[in-house]
Amino acid sequence: MIDRLCIIGVGLIGGSLARALRSAGMCREIVGVGRQSQRLEGARALGVIDRYETDAAQGVKGADMVVVAVPLGVMQGQFQALQGHLAPEAVITDVGSAKRSVIAAARTAFGHVPRNLVPGHPIAGTEKSGVEASFAGLFEGHRVILTPVSETSAGALGRVRDMWTATGAEVVEMPPAMHDEVLAATSHLPHVLASTLVDVLGTMNEHLEIFRNAAGSFRDFTRIASSDPQMWHDVCLANSDAIAAALRAMMRELDQVATAIEGRDGDTLKALFVRAKALRDQYTGAL
């Protein structure tokens, strides 16, 4: 049981976590923290949080669990704002999708990685943003990856694991560098590709007709291009080396596919489609 949960950044992820924990009866009180009181008042009116503060120092006062759900680009500043204001028993976790960046931000802000910090990342979301898009079932059946470091205490890790388990998520652990490499390939790369495709088509003279006549496959593939631009800007900068490596590998593969298409190499193309179908069908249950 969490006595007082403080969520810094009450958007889709933070709001859905609050809803899920409230539904599970895991929190006695939920405090939201953000910069805009109007949005926080909206979250309170929706019943997502019990009260709110625009000052992080006030918001974390007395909290035994603090979830930082802000863009990666402001993570360090947010950690610095918590300096000296956390209760001794407070556990801190986050939802950022580049864990080495979060750990580096904590080390800079606090001068070390606090024992009560448990870096985490829920592998769930939609292309929508804002607390209005949040819902209690967002994490059900999805993975949450925790990336503890040598400084992380077992007690803090256990409490964060219990929190996410209560939302219906499957909780796993992974080294931070492995997390960033895996997510660069499976999450960050698809976002870059979807956005790039939409951008390229938008520069074509016939782009209006292209978008008007887009097939379902286009809509499915590019759905994630509607995600929060600031968040993905921050992700690309925070995990730049892993994302760039994944992009380079993709470019090499695309070059080979282009060569096969130009050369009408049906065997190579058929083999690609067979492999891709088999792999996706094999792992669809895990997606």
pLDDT digits (tens, 9 = 90+) for 45-71: 999 999 999 999 999 999 999 999 999
Choose among 23, 24, 19: nearest CA to 32.
19
Radius of gyration, alpha carbons of the chain = 21
> Each residue of 226-276: pLDDT tens digit?
988 999 999 999 999 999 999 999 999 999 999 999 999 999 999 999 999
Res 285: pLDDT? 59
For residues 170 and 184, membership in a common domain is answered with: no
Note down the domain range covering 185: 178-286
The answer to whether the beta carbons of residues 86 and 92 sit under 8 Å apart is: yes
- Residue 112 sits in a domain whose CATH number is 3.40.50.720
Same-domain pairing of 277 and 225: yes
Contact 33, 6 (CB under 8 A): yes
The CATH number that applies at residue 254 is 1.10.3660.10
Number of residues that this document lists for the chain: 287
What are the helix (H) ranges across 114-153? Answer: none
Q: Are residues 153 and 229 in the same domain?
A: no
Please tell me whether residues 24 and 138 are part of one structural domain.
yes
121 and 205 assigned to the same domain: no
Look at residues 142, 174, 206 and tell me which one is the last residue of a structural domain: 174
Q: What is the pLDDT of residues 64-89, one digit of tens each?
A: 999 999 999 999 999 999 999 999 99
47, 144: one domain: yes
Separation in Å, CA 160 to CA 81, 90, 180, 260, 272: 21, 11, 20, 49, 41
What average pLDDT does the chain have? 95
Name the domain boundary from 133, 148, 174: 174
Question: 205 pLDDT exceeds 90?
Answer: no
Q: Please indicate, yes or no, whether residues 144 and 205 belong to a single structural domain of this protein.
A: no
